[in-house]
Amino acid sequence: MPTVGVEFAKVSYTPTGGHLVLRDISLSLEQGTTTALLGRSGSGKTTLLRMVNGLVRPTSGEVAVLGHRLSSLESPEQWVELRRNIGYVVQDTGLFPHMTVERNAGLSLELEGRPKDEIASVARQNLQKVGLDFDRFRGRLPWQLSGGQRQRVGLARALALDPPVLLMDEPFGALDPLTRGEMQTMLRGLLASMGKTVLLITHDLNEALYLADRVVFLADMEVAVDLPAKEVLASDNPHVKLYVSALHHEVDG
């Protein structure tokens, strides 16, 4: 039977002094699969994603990663160990501007005190995996890179500890269409070869269908639709039809 990589069990979230954001979310993400999460701005996508690495704690319900219930983690060491198993890629990359490409790519290993030769070797391997020549780019600073190149470095950094779980929060949202297409092609090939459990937030249905095995739509604080990617375009669900209509509008326009 498939093994669960990430599980949300009746998860709800209300920030202190705020309004309900998520209500009774239940999802099981199989290991080695990519799940795309879609929804309008403010639908709770990022909140749900950030529950996986404990940056947001659910008000009720349970989140489990690789079989470990996050509510059972008590010590700082346990949380550090959890986050070693989770890579995180965000839209603005979060690269340190004063650090070279090589150091940014190997920072997680540096913080763990790994040997310098190991850090350099992993940085080289991962930068090449994401399509950056190590010798050409290793000494550059983030401001010397294009948006797509910075995002590649951010992805290489997220892969440094070879985490089995990868969180991606609109990683290509700020890129121009051509660069975005190149990044999608690179990522699709990379994910196919690595077998990681991926939760991807995107506003782009076409991107979701290209990269994901499964597409989940959030609406009204709940899971509105949960479908295999290959079934989305034929769905009669009104939430799905809105996205498909918008996709056709972009193509026709």
| Band of pLDDT at residue 253, cut at 50, 70 and 90 | very low
Residues 120 and 156 in one domain: yes
Q: What is the mean pLDDT of residues 64-86?
A: 92
Instruction: Write the CATH number for 53.
Output: 3.40.50.300
Q: Is residue 148 domain-resident?
A: yes
Q: Point out the domain boundary residue: 162, 188, 214.
A: 162
pLDDT at position 248 over 80: no
**Counted domains in the chain:** 2
Kindly write down the DSSP assignment for every residue of 19-86, as one continuous string. Answer: ---EEEEEEEEETT-EEEEEE-TTSSHHHHHHHHTTSS--SEEEEEETTEEGGG--SHHHHHHHHHTE
83 inside domain: no
Same domain, 169 and 242: yes
Residues 177 and 246 in one domain: yes
Per-residue pLDDT, averaged over 47-74, amounts to 94
Q: Assess whether 18 and 70 both reside in one domain.
A: yes
33 touches 215 (CB < 8 A): no
Pick from 144, 162, 180: which residue ends a domain?
162
Is 180 found in the same domain as 154? no
Judge if 176 and 240 occupy the same domain: yes
pLDDT band at 243 (very low <50, low <70, confident <90, very high): confident
pLDDT class of 91 with cuts at 50, 70, 90: confident
Here the tokens at position 33 are 């699969």
Phi then psi for 250, rounded to 5 degrees? Answer: -65, -40
169 located within any domain: yes
pLDDT band with cut points at 50, 70 and 90 for residue 246: confident
How sure is the predictor about 250, in pLDDT bands with cuts at 50, 70 and 90?
Answer: low
* pLDDT attached to residue 244: 85
Please, where are the H alpha helices in the chain?
Answer: 45-52, 76-84, 101-105, 107-111, 116-129, 134-137, 147-158, 177-194, 205-211, 238-252
Q: Are residues 169 and 62 in the same domain?
A: yes
Residue recorded with tokens 């918008």: 246
Q: What is the pLDDT of residues 135-172, one digit of tens each?
A: 999 999 999 999 999 999 999 999 999 999 999 999 88
163-197 confidence digits (pLDDT tens): 999 999 998 887 888 999 999 999 999 999 999 99
pLDDT digits (tens, 9 = 90+) for 5-35: 999 999 999 998 889 999 999 999 999 999 9
pLDDT exceeds cutoff 60 at 251: no
Residues 64, 175 share a domain = yes
User: Under DSSP, is residue 204 helix (H, G, I), strand (E, B) or coil?
Assistant: coil
Task: Say yes or no: 119 and 241 in one domain.
Answer: no
The pTM (predicted TM-score) of the whole model is 0.93
Which residue range forms the structural domain that includes residue 186? 1-76+165-253
Q: In the predicted model, what is the mean pLDDT of the chain?
A: 92
Asked whether the predicted pLDDT for residue 232 surpasses 70, the reply is yes
What are the pLDDT digits (tens) for 202-227?
989 999 999 999 999 999 999 999 99
